[in-house]
Amino acid sequence: MVEFIGGEEVESIVHKVAYIFDPSDDEDDQGLSGAAEGGAQSSQSGSARNKSRKHGRAENRTPKSKKRRTAAKSKSKGDDDDDEEDENDYENSLSAFPALLQGREAPEAVGRRRELYSSVWPKLDDRIQTVLQRSNQATLSAVMGFVEKPIQSKIPAAFVILGPAATTDMLLFRQLATSLADSEQSINQAAKASNNNQGRCMRRMARLRAAEATNLRAALKTIVQVASSSGPSGASNGNGDAPDEEDVVAHNGNKYLSYDLEAVATAINSDPSATTSSRIVVAFEDSEAFDAALLADLLSFLHSWLDRIPFVLLFGVATSVDLFQARLPKQAAHRLTAAQFDVAPSSAVLDRLVRRAVAASDVPLRIGPSLLRSLAERQDEQVTGVSVFVNSLKYAYMCYFYANPLSVFLQDVGNGADTTVQDAFLQSPDYLAAIRQLPSFRRHVEELIAEGHIGVAKQLLGDAEDEQQHLRHAVSEQLQYQRNWNKRLARALQVASASGVFANQSFTELYITALEDRRGGNEDGFTLDDDGTSLAATMTSAIRRMSSAELITMVRRLAAAVQAGDADLALDAQPADAEDLPDKDMDDVHGTHWAALPATLLSIAEQIEELQKKLEVSHASRARQRVMFIKVASNSGSSSPGGGGGGAPQLRSKYTAHNKVLRTTVVAQKVQLSRDSMALTEEDQAFTELVDKTVAAITSVVDVEPVMAVAASKASAQQRIQAPRSQLWLQEIWLYDARTPYRDVFIPRPGMVVERALARPHDYLACECCKGTGASHKKKNGDNNVAESIKRTMPATSILYQLYLEAGPLINVADLWEAFQTAVSDSGNGQTNDKDAKEGEANKDNNGDVADNGEDADDEDTQERRHLVQFYQGLSEMKTLGYIKPTRRKVDHVAKIKWL
């Protein structure tokens, strides 16, 4: 990676942190947690292998087996050194956290930010890995069962539908490789324990990619290398690299070519008793990218060895099996006996990750709705894998702890000493001043003044000791309130997701809605707008429209969900008796409502069932009376009364649609239509009261913010004065919702970056000699003359880019050279800055001539040659960047190209 960074070391580390965690296909071999280290090690080991192959034949000839063991030892030692270097680099990158607050941040605060990141993210990463491991458990079990089946005359082939993200997410292949290694180890240990002299079972997995297996020989090399490895670790080493030597040494000392499957057959068939349980799984990760002819030849070759080597094929399909089968020749397709498997959808895995690693009540850092929506939209629009979401989440944590001085107040769940540390940092006046600069703090003070609490606002803003102590106490209370708010939000999400009202929304959308419902006019403020879009308003409307049977089902489901808890959201199960709840869950009104919610809902369900039974009994009694009246009327010959409607009776509330009637009134020869409510029976009135009681019980939990607030952007001045004060502020401490760093790193704009680097090189070089160039300089001086934006101290490519902007579609290279030479020459067009001019005048007074500052006194010929070299280098870089190209119209010209 070419870096235009100069100056301090901190800036270099920022760019390393920004780009070292970019998602790439190479990370699949190392896993999600070791992408950066794995990439460094693979590049180093690859260069070492190339060097050994290049210079290996010039060394003294030694037996290849001995030579191989020595190389293995040295490679193991080198891997240890690489691990130590990676650990040192990681520690150095963490120790390079800059001192914030304009350099006044204490070293203890810098160390705390570093320690918080190193303790918070590993815990979160463990949760993420657990979710990923469990996401494809059903598919993994089915594929392993397919691998265990006896092999017949055709090659078993498993078609795994990975979906559009097949090229970026190979989680199932990594899990399958691990399962094969574990099964091999367990089978061998069981055979060794039973002492039945059974041979050693071999289960390997060779992962092939179209970019690495470009021909039949390269594919066979990978299969032989993995299958003939000495341990189960080779199952996950299918990276397509060729072996270190041309020959592969089998266990019996025979030598085979690196692409000869006889080595694999000899290793497997050394003991026939172990052949039936051995498996060589060949995984085609991007099967659609393979050439059809190459794939057909490879299938034919593997089928010819099927009687000696138990092959099982695994195809990763991104489109469909029908489209993939259409690309295969019929002869190759007839050699396969296939089965189709589906992996868990990436959206389901993403929802589980958000539920476990973002929305859980014990997650200290809250990801804001804007950033989370950007991450979710990128998953859908760009069809990226789950690993990209994990990398983006990690980068958000890195940015937060690296650049936010108030992150020292974030409390790591489970660490009771954090409160004492926070109180110690609050003693610093720098942190108090930083807190007073927060937008949420200013909004809080404005609300206090609007409510008439001017004395409290003065105490928050004053600099006296007692006033600063009041501010410290208010900040501590707000941090404790925020921790309770996290638990309330998790409870609201559990109730909302279990109710079934938001069945058409994913959990990620539900979480974003829950946060945005509480966002007011300011970006940092949370309010709950009663506009029908909040969780409480939506659930209230849905509950009121439910029938009695639907309401009973939902109420019992919610009671069971609350009692069972939610491990993903870090909500504990409730005991049978609410009095047995810990005191920490009963510390406020919300905790009391949460503890009483299951009993309240179950009581409501029982009362509704009793009303339903009472209504059914009353309906049956009226039906019997109607039958008796019909019999009497038929005997007497009179007409029977109408209105007997059949069907089971249903409870109605005043909110149901069929409870509304349309009335017609004629006034002064005009017809007026109006809606009115029908008269409710005693049972219906009681059911309406139960519906209102259900709404009150659920909204007391779902409505996380207990105080209603009016959004500043939608409220008038009188409404803002009368609006209650929000209890939630200082969100900048525990909420990260910045999208700019994420877009710059994970959604880069290379065109704009390259153009800015060429037009304003001092922004990247951090130098003063080139400052003042570019578009801003031209705009400031009021002219667009390109000569005014060129300085001879600029890089040659930047000077050529400025001349390129002023040229036409065809550029004469000779004219371009003359313009370049004029721009970089000492006296060319008077292009010397004020500092050079002053120094030149001083040198003229002292020496009698004008000498260039910092350059050697070379003659004109040497200087022209140097400038010509710079011109050719800059012209070559312009061609490499895609700005110019040769043209056949005029051989001494170059043509402009629109850079994409």
Q: Does residue 694 sit in the same domain as residue 615?
A: yes
Condensed to tens digits (0 to 9), the pLDDT of residues 463-521 reads: 888 888 989 999 988 888 888 888 888 999 999 999 988 888 889 999 988 887 543 33
Range with the poorest average pLDDT among 146-160, 411-425, 698-712:
698-712
Per-residue pLDDT band at 834 (split at 50, 70, 90):
very low
Sign for the CA dihedral angle at 807, 811, 812, 818 comes to positive
Q: Does residue 426 sit in the same domain as residue 405?
A: yes
Per-residue pLDDT band at 435 (split at 50, 70, 90):
very high
Cα Rg, the chain, nearest whole Å: 37
Given this model, what pLDDT does residue 184 score? 83
738 SS3 class? coil
Domain count within the chain: 5
**What is the strand order of the sheet 155-161 is part of?**
203-208, 279-284, 311-317, 155-161, 336-342
212 vs 277, which has greater pLDDT?
Answer: 212
Rounded Cα gap, residues 58 and 541, in angstroms: 82
- CA distances to 16, 113, 329, 730 from 117, rounded to whole Å, are 17, 6, 54, 20
Assess if residue 542 is contained within a domain: no
Q: Does residue 401 sit in the same domain as residue 519?
A: yes
Condensed to tens digits (0 to 9), the pLDDT of residues 331-382 reads: 888 889 888 888 878 888 889 999 999 999 889 898 988 899 988 888 877 7
Given this model, what pLDDT does residue 338 score? 87
- CA distances to 253, 316, 706 from 332, rounded to whole Å, are 35, 17, 67
Q: Are strands 279-284 and 311-317 parallel, antiparallel or unpaired?
A: parallel
Q: Does residue 472 sit in the same domain as residue 486?
A: yes
How is 695-728 classified by DSSP, letter by letter? HHHHHHHH--SSS----TTT--HHHHHHSPPPS-
| Residue 900 in this model has a pLDDT that exceeds 70 | no
Condensed to tens digits (0 to 9), the pLDDT of residues 208-224 reads: 988 888 899 899 988 98
The answer to whether 871 touches 817, Cβ cutoff 8 Å, is yes
| Residue 396 in this model has a pLDDT that exceeds 90 | yes
Among 193, 355, 176, residue whose Cα is nearest residue 282:
176
| Residue 145 in this model has a pLDDT that exceeds 70 | yes
Could you tell me which residues are beta bridge partners of residue 204? 280
Assess if residue 793 is contained within a domain: yes
Could you tell me which residues are beta bridge partners of residue 330? none
Show the domain range for 75: 1-96
Largest CA distance in the chain: 142
Assess if residue 92 is contained within a domain: yes
Q: Does residue 197 sit in the same domain as residue 307?
A: yes
- CA distances to 123, 135, 499, 702 from 540, rounded to whole Å, are 37, 34, 12, 10
Q: Which two tokens stand for residue 199?
A: 């041979």
Range with the poorest average pLDDT among 484-493, 612-621, 765-774:
765-774
Given this model, what pLDDT does residue 601 score? 92
Question: Where is the domain boundary, 68, 96, 124?
Answer: 96
Q: What is the dihedral of CA 383, 385, 386, 391, to 10 degrees?
A: -100
341 SS3 class? strand
Q: Does residue 697 sit in the same domain as residue 708?
A: no
The answer to whether 394 touches 122, Cβ cutoff 8 Å, is no
**DSSP strands (E only) in 318-383:** 336-342, 366-367
Q: What is the dihedral of CA 215, 219, 220, 225, to 10 degrees?
A: 140
| Residue 68 in this model has a pLDDT that exceeds 80 | no
Mean pLDDT of all residues belonging to the chain: 74
Assess if residue 543 is contained within a domain: no
- DSSP 8-class letter at 5: -
| Residue 574 in this model has a pLDDT that exceeds 60 | yes
Assess if residue 544 is contained within a domain: no
| 867 contacts: CB under 8 Å, gap ≥ 6 | 820, 821, 824, 825
Given this model, what pLDDT does residue 590 score? 76
Assess if residue 539 is contained within a domain: no
Average pLDDT over residues 263-292: 80
Assess if residue 540 is contained within a domain: no
674-683: long-range pairs with CB below 8 Å, 24+ = 680/652, 680/653, 680/654, 683/611, 683/614, 683/615, 683/618, 683/651
At 111, which amino acid appears? G
Q: Does residue 111 sit in the same domain as residue 170?
A: no
How is 597-614 classified by DSSP, letter by letter? HHHHHHHHHHHHHHHHHH
Rounded Cα gap, residues 457 and 462, in angstroms: 9
Q: CA 804 from chain center: how many Å?
A: 40
Condensed to tens digits (0 to 9), the pLDDT of residues 661-692 reads: 556 676 766 777 666 566 677 888 888 899 99
Per-residue pLDDT band at 718 (split at 50, 70, 90):
very low
| Residue 10 in this model has a pLDDT that exceeds 50 | no
Q: Which two tokens stand for residue 795?
A: 């890089």
**Residue 3, phi then psi, degrees to nearest 5:** -110, 135
Q: Does residue 372 sit in the same domain as residue 463?
A: yes
Assess if residue 545 is contained within a domain: no
The total of other beta-carbon atoms located within 10 Å of residue 88's CB is 10
Phi-psi region of 126 (alpha: psi -120 to 50; beta: other; left: phi over 0): alpha
Average pLDDT over residues 190-198: 69
Rounded Cα gap, residues 735 and 762, in angstroms: 34
Given this model, what pLDDT does residue 738 score? 86
| Residue 393 in this model has a pLDDT that exceeds 90 | yes
221: CATH: 3.40.50.300
Question: Where is the domain boundary, 670, 702, 734?
Answer: 702
Burial of 654 (0-12, 13-18, 19+ CB in 10 A): middle
| 381 contacts: CB under 8 Å, gap ≥ 6 | none
- CA distances to 222, 247, 291, 806 from 214, rounded to whole Å, are 11, 21, 8, 46
Secondary structure in 3-state letters for 795-813: CHHHHHHHHHHHCCCEEEH
191 vs 487, which has greater pLDDT?
Answer: 487
Given this model, what pLDDT does residue 137 score? 85
Rounded Cα gap, residues 791 and 802, in angstroms: 10
**% the chain with pLDDT above 70:** 68
Q: Does residue 73 sit in the same domain as residue 17?
A: yes
The answer to whether 820 touches 895, Cβ cutoff 8 Å, is no
Q: Does residue 663 sit in the same domain as residue 723?
A: no
| Residue 437 in this model has a pLDDT that exceeds 50 | yes
Given this model, what pLDDT does residue 578 score? 54
Q: Does residue 290 sit in the same domain as residue 404?
A: no
Among 489, 481, 554, residue whose Cα is nearest residue 515:
489
Q: Does residue 167 sit in the same domain as residue 302?
A: yes
Question: Where is the domain boundary, 316, 343, 370?
Answer: 343
Condensed to tens digits (0 to 9), the pLDDT of residues 849-865 reads: 444 544 555 577 888 88
The answer to whether 261 touches 223, Cβ cutoff 8 Å, is yes
Q: Which two tokens stand for residue 579?
A: 């009095």
| Residue 405 in this model has a pLDDT that exceeds 80 | yes
